[in-house]
């Protein structure tokens, strides 16, 4: 029996992307079983009276540098949106997250490539990811049929999907979440601990008594800074 990890994430968050890729890499090493739960970060922020780091001047300035460095360390291609406010606040990702929830319920095997493709659009290609056209483009890119894409888009306005994403969001909030990524770790002995952020693999490995072996990126930075 392996430890269980649940990742609560929203594709509006680049740090959720980093956590997503890192956890998937460690999952391949048989460190734990991983469950993915798309939630609505906007709902978490509102419930906890939190503010996006990019909306605080000093944090926003640091975030740019930090993401550039993290992109290299984790072997990813993270590029800042042309207009973060428009992407994250004006457009938002509620429709996108509902689509991911609907997709997970209908065809869970497509959740990983779909999530990755939305992140790539928002945080690598400087494209949009909130509109119906964006969702259709992602669906086609990952190999979904037109009929299934249409069905899933229709489901995003259903009570079932709205209730599911609310359940995921409330679950994270009740566990103490105030942002994303939120990572809940449950050991084989029943003890659990939750972590916030994309850089918590060393502590997660310590908690589950496994060796931390870096970012597992092919171009991981080896030198100390």
Q: Which residues are catalytic?
A: 13
Strand, coil or helix: what is 58?
helix
List beta partners, residue 182.
8, 196
Contacts of 52 (CB under 8 A, 6+ apart): 45, 88, 89
Residue closest to 162 by CA, chosen among 102, 216, 87, 225: 102
List beta partners, residue 34.
5
Cα–Cα distance measured from residue 91 to residue 191, given in angstroms and rounded to the nearest whole number: 39
162 token code pair: 């709205």
End-to-end CA distance of the chain: 38
Write down how long the chain is: 225
Q: Position of tokens 């100390």?
A: 224
Contacts of 187 (CB under 8 A, 6+ apart): 3, 207, 208
């Amino acid at each position: 029996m392996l430890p269980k990890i649940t990742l609560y994430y929203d594709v509006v968050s680049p740090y959720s992307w980093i956590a997503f890729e890192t956890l998937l890499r460690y999952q391949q090493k048989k460190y734990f079983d991983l469950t993915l739960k798309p939630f609505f970060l906007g709902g978490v922020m509102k419930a906890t009276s939190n503010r996006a780091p990019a909306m605080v001047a000093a944090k926003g300035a640091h975030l740019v540098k930090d993401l550039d460095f993290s992109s290299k360390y984790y072997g990813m291609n993270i590029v800042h949106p042309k207009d973060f406010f428009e992407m994250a606040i004006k457009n938002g990702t509620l429709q996108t997250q509902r689509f991911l929830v609907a997709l997970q319920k209908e065809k869970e095997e497509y959740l990983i490539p779909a999530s990755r493709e939305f992140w790539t659009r928002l945080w690598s290609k400087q494209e949009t990811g909130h509109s119906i056209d964006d969702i259709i483009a992602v669906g086609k890119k990952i190999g979904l049929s037109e009929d299934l894409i249409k069905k899933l888009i229709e489901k995003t306005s259903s009570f079932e999907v709205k209730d599911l994403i609310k359940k995921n969001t409330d679950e994270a909030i009740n566990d103490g979440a105030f942002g994303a990524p939120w990572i809940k770790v449950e050991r084989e002995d029943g003890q659990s601990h939750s972590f916030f952020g994309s850089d918590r693999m060393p502590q997660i490995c310590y908690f589950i008594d496994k060796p931390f072996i870096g970012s597992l990126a092919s171009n991981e930075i080896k030198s100390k800074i």
